[in-house]
Structure 1
């Protein structure tokens, strides 16, 4: 039996809560060329520099129903995962684990609850994201998990999070992609619209989640497969290799520019409480012909989705421009003119 890693004092759990935080989702097998927990540790400083709060690991054993609680040995096994969690805590990053427990019958519900508590207690992760909650048969599992996790949090003396993402938002979920692409699913976004999308995501009243590489507009495809499977069980193992991030892209000007924009957006979100306020009754949205206004307290997010400059009337006088995704923003007495496919955050 594998011995559990003992917490070092400097790696004590991080008291990160979801409201006001930013999640960074990654697939261990595709995050680095080596595809291991230990290799991921070498890139934690990148996440600290970016400014995110929580690292969310996609299911470490994919969706394998046989070994639900066993991090695969090719990735580093249980000890490798513990080292990654402790290293993240030492750098001030919280750790969320993505788990899938909806493929089951009612007789094993207690076993799944115990497994959830094991991830939190034995691996020191700070929370779990429950995958496929709408597919779970009834709400009893979620209710039992919530009660058990709340009890464990009291016992451990630290906050623990459960993230459930049911399909209750209706058409809101695809709203931003549709807004940016005009409902053309295969339409690639221009660099300008990618910057607009990042701005809207980082100023929305929610907990933003970045997928690995999104912060620099990585060109690698997201064709992820399971890890730790026997040879021959995966139809095309080269899919994983093609999906691994190319960290050298950060040295290219166009990718570095996108990365720097994300850093600025995250820093601004953290310095302006209005931009991270999760209360929906404190937000006011107005849109027109290829433009969008989003009022967030004393801040206003203005987006021009058109391929030409637009003059947009504003509900108040601009005191100063906090951030712009492109040069050439002109502030006028009663409005603002934005370059094509650009956004700005202003203080009123």
Structure 2
């Protein structure tokens, strides 16, 4: 068995394999290597640094059966019997994405349990399943963003073989799999990487602490660690795409940004495996260069999340204007601008930031599908004080209107698990740090954060309380109850309509017509020969769309009189005009 590890910091290295230490040889570039006689097929092992007799896990460990503080276990990536040889992948244009968290998607919270719910997603009509991070973190329950061993799959979910079974099952049902990955920081517990090498910057910081070393001394191997990890998910786990967490926190001063390097190497792998591979950025920069092709001077990523679209819809449906929602609460015109131009903040003043923010999208050159549009996601729910979903404050009628704007809109739609039936279970911030001090600090920090915004700390759930995690699990029994059945039917019909009507996946940014009387609260989105008419008012509205036929309605199908569609209160309709 051959063992190798990049560790320029220690003076001596040994690898402990089944309780026997074997000296390692240092090579150029800070790499250490050792060839060890085979001891079984899956021995446990760890690295001994200098005089420390406590073995540390492999930074590139594929499996941590006893958690992130324990020994690594040898794992053969080639041993899994894949059955998806006929899978040719899915391109992003025309896709509908479904974001889920393995631990709360089902009562059991495992990959195998999630497989049993995949037929629900097929019947819903989505085409991509996007998983919150599944890399190894300390504790049992976590959103996944506290990962410290990026190559290992969280054991409680089912480990690497469980993940491969899940991907295999998705592909057999025609579902692509995107994986959320975090390259901007390391979690607060179990992070031994700095013992081996300068994985973290000595100077740069971000929201979570020390930033990852992307451009300082020895950064080349750190970048290689990240890029190889991305390629591992795509190649060894047959994943179809990656969602790159908070790329604005990647502090990179190199001439070729890490994101561009990722785009180049993923494109090369795409050509090799013969199926589409997708890179999606989460970014709050409102910078279209992320999704501009490399030949046009951009980074060449496939797409990026659009928080502006979410904020505009959320403010419109709820009336909220606190915090970063302030600028988005100016009415229907905000939604119309985002639909037709991609960003609301495209160089405009941001009250939340106290400065101008963003830059314009060239709508003539960039297709609208390169932005992801969503009504809810894990962050926008879970980062609220009590993790309340829209269903807690918005009527079923307005939920359906919001779904209509997302699923008939120009952007690639994304749903958050349970949204399709108006789940009443919250999605709260939860952790399970075994260290008491860290657990207390996490809970107190959470309460203090929301106390600054006027919340009573007693109302903010303790992230360390197991009940916070359990409350966040979906209640699948809701599917059979009203009004959940009706909303689920609305989502299914909308997704089917999106697939059936080419105008709804037209890459061009649409135009949107709004009522100047904000009390009337209606808007019409023009998409080819289709008109998406939405009434957000509490009473009936007559909206001019022209003569045509109603293809879809959120409730009772409205009539069209003299070219005006008669929309009931809080409803939407899609009309094909003559």
1:33-72 matches, within 5 Å, as 33-61=107-135, 62-72=144-154
Residue of structure 1 in register with 2:547 after alignment: 317
Q: Is the 8 A contact 1:305 1:341 kept in 2?
A: yes
What RMSD in Å do the two structures reach over aligned CA positions? 1.9
Q: Is the 8 A contact 1:14 1:94 kept in 2?
A: no
Listed one character per residue, the Cα deviations across residues 284-317 of structure 1 (whole Å, up to 9, x for unaligned) are: 1011130010011011000000001111122x21
Listed one character per residue, the Cα deviations across residues 74-94 of structure 1 (whole Å, up to 9, x for unaligned) are: 110111101000000011100
Residue of structure 1 in register with 2:140 after alignment: none
Aligned partners of 1:322 and 1:276: how far apart in 2? 16
Aligned partners of 1:184 and 1:250: how far apart in 2? 32
Alignment gaps of 5+ in structure 1: none
Q: Is the 8 A contact 1:23 1:56 kept in 2?
A: yes
Aligned residues: 342
What SS class does the counterpart of residue 412 from structure 2 fall into?
Answer: coil
Listed one character per residue, the Cα deviations across residues 183-213 of structure 1 (whole Å, up to 9, x for unaligned) are: 3569811111001000010011111000000
1:143-182 matches, within 5 Å, as 143-167=260-284, 168=286, 171-182=308-319
Matched, 1:105 2:213: yes
Tell me the TM-score normalised to structure 2 length.
0.57
Higher relative contact order, chain-length normalized (CA < 8 Å, sep 6+): 1
Distance apart, 1:225 and its partner CA: 3.1
Matched, 1:245 2:457: no
What SS class does the counterpart of residue 537 from structure 2 fall into?
Answer: coil
Aligned partners of 1:96 and 1:13: how far apart in 2? 15
Aligned partners of 1:46 and 1:252: how far apart in 2? 16
Q: Is the 8 A contact 2:550 2:557 kept in 1?
A: no
Aligned partners of 1:88 and 1:102: how far apart in 2? 28
Residue of structure 2 in register with 1:25 after alignment: 99
Tell me the TM-score normalised to structure 1 length.
0.93
Q: Is the 8 A contact 1:12 1:86 kept in 2?
A: no
- Residues 126 and 272 of structure 1: CA distance in aligned 2, closer, same or farther (over 3 Å): same
Aligned partners of 1:291 and 1:341: how far apart in 2? 9
- Residues 159 and 258 of structure 1: CA distance in aligned 2, closer, same or farther (over 3 Å): same
Aligned partners of 1:274 and 1:330: how far apart in 2? 22
Residue of structure 1 in register with 2:81 after alignment: 6
Q: Is the 8 A contact 1:328 1:339 kept in 2?
A: no
Distance apart, 1:72 and its partner CA: 1.1
Alignment gaps of 5+ in structure 2: 1-73, 136-143, 186-211, 287-305, 323-387, 440-462
Aligned partners of 1:79 and 1:51: how far apart in 2? 27
Q: Is the 8 A contact 2:90 2:275 kept in 1?
A: no
Matched, 1:293 2:524: yes
- Residues 48 and 171 of structure 1: CA distance in aligned 2, closer, same or farther (over 3 Å): closer
- Higher helix share goes to which structure? 1
- Residues 157 and 171 of structure 1: CA distance in aligned 2, closer, same or farther (over 3 Å): closer
What SS class does the counterpart of residue 315 from structure 2 fall into?
Answer: helix
Residue of structure 2 in register with 1:123 after alignment: 237
Distance apart, 1:326 and its partner CA: 1.6
Aligned partners of 2:88 and 2:469: how far apart in 1? 31
Listed one character per residue, the Cα deviations across residues 221-257 of structure 1 (whole Å, up to 9, x for unaligned) are: 0114357x64865622321111000001011021111
Distance apart, 1:67 and its partner CA: 1.3
